[in-house]
Structure 1
């Protein structure tokens, strides 16, 4: 299943509050489909036309799927900023079909591994080569990372941010960027990414540094990281 977080029409609006989905054919179909798969089923605002316009490679005339076929679907990176920034894992970053389908033009690699794309191209590849350990230092890289992403947003390039499993280091840098870009608290940026990537789990060392980053961005510590879910 594709997991796309674009509930709001405004790409810059991180407020996910709003009315519940009205019952209709899409919601009814989603409820039934959820009984046959372990994967989450999401109903997107904008309907079929808007979604298929962005993700034509998911279009199909097939209306009945076997459970085995649904389980065989390969997940794509999650969408953080619609059509602009995606969050994924190393396997997805190495998949040429994913790069083609999502029109990826740049990578931020937050892992020790070397990916196959954009090698030797510092304009389109930022490699933050760090381990996923509690004592790793990520703050020294954050200003450069934010600058890299802002440039590509201005250029209209699609960027894939990834780490080995896509749940710790890459999630942490995405949260850090959103805090900087929107001048938001750690709590609010974390909640947004969590809604897009429900299995995000930055290690505790990264969480404490995100708290330090919050103080740099906002001038004060706002979020209590000792309260769940951090």
Structure 2
């Protein structure tokens, strides 16, 4: 039997924004997002690509063509799930004798709709089933730009979907590429207030404004030296965190140089090892991978922070 686990809003946001060559949403077995709210609520708006789960005679009906064992992520949401446990609710049908004694409604233990449906799904798959914490209300409040009324998505529409930068530190630090850094809508939606540009290219934002733009001009090569800039990058980002600014860190492809810069910051800011920082960024952005030269520099940065080498970069994961 599979596990029933919580999925944080940031995790779903990042899942929606993964890429290989194209958006991973175009992969048929990547994400199965299921909405168990009412038809009226679903029609009013739902998370992009979500399918509504119908209920007939108190029985949930799994949408056609869903093969749970083949799906990488199966995520269920209702309006506002807060717990995976049973919830105290008031039964509309009262026991007359008890009601006469207490004068109160009798509390009834019931799971929320998402949990109720999730507990059915875990018997049908070996993969984990995820429940979106806070449900649609919380997620759509954080990421209003992922609300839609669209029900049917054609393959070519999913191929053309433009992913947003991934979220490294909720609401504070995003990691992306040059195209995303130049996208006016994404910039506005994420409320970006500062850029860390680790590339040779320039963007239309914060030009000449050194308070909001840190531009480290290095080539995307094995011989590029980013280590001398790690401390400056960390201080710039910490300053903007103190100012409550939202920061976008990016490079041309958003895979190597910017990922290394984000890991260097996490190691400095949280006192983490390279291994832990790597795991966190990898979870947020599946296709991130600094080149071997940058990995070696991150190891040197780990020694500066912790006084010794801790991570074994000979492990194939690096």
TM-score interval for Structure 1 and Structure 2 normalised by the shorter chain: 0.7 to 0.9
Q: How many residue pairs align between the two structures?
A: 209
SS of the counterpart of 1:6? helix
Distance 1:113 1:101, change over 3 A: same
Describe the superposition over 1:163-190 as per-residue Cα deviations: whole angstroms up to 9, x where unpaired. Answer: 0000000000001100111101000100
8 A Cα contact 2:11 2:284, kept in partner: no
Cα displacement (A) at 1:72: 2.1
Cα displacement (A) at 1:55: 1.1
Match of 1:181 among 234, 252, 269: 269
The aligned counterpart of 2:161 is 73
The CA RMSD measured in Å over matched residues stands at: 2.7
8 A Cα contact 2:181 2:203, kept in partner: yes
1:158 aligns with 2:246: yes
1:168 aligns with 2:271: no
1:140 aligns with 2:144: no
CA distance in 1, matches of 2:254, 2:158: 22
Match of 2:152 among 64, 76, 91: 64
The aligned counterpart of 2:185 is 97
Cα displacement (A) at 1:42: 7.5
Distance 1:143 1:159, change over 3 A: same
Distance 1:73 1:176, change over 3 A: same
8 A Cα contact 2:9 2:139, kept in partner: no
The aligned counterpart of 1:201 is 289
The aligned counterpart of 2:135 is 47
SS of the counterpart of 1:176? helix
Distance 1:144 1:5, change over 3 A: farther
SS of the counterpart of 2:266? helix
Cα displacement (A) at 1:201: 1.4
The aligned counterpart of 2:195 is 107
The aligned counterpart of 1:12 is none
1:87 aligns with 2:155: no
Cα displacement (A) at 1:196: 0.5
**When the two structures are superposed, what TM-score results if normalisation uses the length of structure 2?**
0.61
Unaligned 5+ segments in structure 1 are 9-23
Describe the superposition over 1:38-84 as per-residue Cα deviations: whole angstroms up to 9, x where unpaired. Answer: xx767453321111111111111223322222222111100000111
CA distance in 2, matches of 1:5, 1:172: 25
SS of the counterpart of 2:223? coil
CA distance in 2, matches of 1:201, 1:158: 23
The aligned counterpart of 1:220 is 308
Larger fraction in strand: 2
Larger fraction in helix: 1
Distance 1:42 1:154, change over 3 A: farther
